[in-house]
Amino acid sequence: MERTNQKIGEGLKAGLLLTTGVVLLVCASTISTPQQIETVLFSTSSLKPTLHVAPSLDLGSFSDVTSIPTTRIVHAAGVAPVVADGASPQQRLSQPPKLAQLPTPIPLTAPWALATLLGGLATLIGILSLRTALLHRSPQPRVALAATSGHRTSPIDRRTALLSGVGMALSLRQPAPALAADELVDVYFGVGCFWHVQHEFVEAERRILGRKDDELTAYAGYAGGTKLGRSPTRPGSAENLVCYHNFQQIADYGRLGHGEAVGMKIPASKVEDFAAEYFKLFDRGGDRPDKGDRGGEYRSMIGLPGGVSSPLFPAIERQANGLVELKAGMGDDGDTLGRKLVWVYDTADFPFHIGEVYHQYHDGFMPGENYPDSYNNLKKGAFKDGRLPWSGCPDIVGEA
């Protein structure tokens, strides 16, 4: 409180000095000599001189108006309008002035010089005092932010704390809460055609998590778009469809802004292991292997609870290791081919939509991607026991 009162006092003193200086300068500008009867002001914007008669001068004090001396002139850019000596005031007002070069600067009178000097000094001191009062910083007490999961408590100054608070307030989303290590989370990964990607994550579920065939959760589907479709063959159905290209043109995923991805449910503690498997699918240039597929439908993407604000995101960054840029997706995003880029989506805003049954456990189309029948037939068991539902899209299956 004492420091605050001191700063207020310094600011008031500075303001008083500044005001005094300005007043003195204004007063100095109004001081004239008996020789100044008229003031001709030169406008630098229009270059049209204007003639004024000083209202404070009594013309009756001169016995002979023809003896009125030539006016003092305020000039700009070295030139000023002048009028002929000996003209009457009325003639001076009606006579257009001419431009002439000023031979010498106008001499300063003693009062004008004194007021100008004092006003300038007071103004300068006031500005310097005000600047000192504003910029002076007294030592600030150090505060500490409460520790959050994954962060150490460290002392920071009040300015840093304020800036941190502003940054948090401007963010669209607060960081997602910490997840338990064994908590199952819904994530998805996309990099080109989803057929081969699904196979690799099925194998990862088996190898990393030890899951059996009836425990697998990796399915081909769609994500990253802002729109959903409705089936015209099912009046009154909800607008919740995202489908592969079809002759009926029902909820086409490309037109709805979605891309191909593989969704799965895995423990939070294993997200980094699955991210490592994901980045193995990229070539050395940070691109998908199947470069023949073009368009936003084949863009590289990752879906996490909380997106780039997720507590799982640092694990993704570690595994990316500079291979690609991880950028928050806004939805309906474009292709990433040749850009070394992966869109990262918040699964709350951009959820995963499971694909058609016929797309599940499918062979890839690149060399070496003809998988055994045991893999292809996984779709039958998954659909039969209800783990693989019908999406509502045109498919090899339908409503019973």
Per-residue pLDDT of 247-276, as tens digits, reads 999 999 999 999 999 999 999 999 999 999
Residue 47 has pLDDT above 80, yes or no: no
The C-alpha atoms of residue 342 and residue 267 are separated, in whole angstroms, by 22
Number of neighbouring beta carbons within 10 Å of residue 393: 26
pLDDT of residue 109: 54
Contacts of 132 (CB under 8 A, 6+ apart): 10, 14
State the maximum Cα–Cα separation within the chain, in Å, rounded to a whole number. 125
pLDDT of residue 114: 66
Measure the CA dihedral 23/26/28/33, to 10°: -140
Highest mean pLDDT among 39-48, 118-127, 232-241: 232-241
Report residue 330 as tokens: 């806004």
Q: Rounded to two decimals, what is the model's pTM?
A: 0.57
325-353 confidence digits (pLDDT tens): 999 999 999 999 999 999 999 999 999 99
Residue 138 has pLDDT above 90, yes or no: no
The DSSP bridge partners found for residue 66 are none
Question: Residue 40: pLDDT band by 50, 70, 90 thresholds?
Answer: very low
Q: At what angle do helices 271-279 and 194-209 cross, to 10 degrees?
A: 140
364-390 confidence digits (pLDDT tens): 989 999 999 999 999 999 999 999 999
Question: Residue 182: pLDDT band by 50, 70, 90 thresholds?
Answer: confident
Start-to-end CA distance of the chain, whole Å, equals: 77
Kind plus residue range of the DSSP H or E element containing 320: helix 313-320
The C-alpha atoms of residue 50 and residue 46 are separated, in whole angstroms, by 11
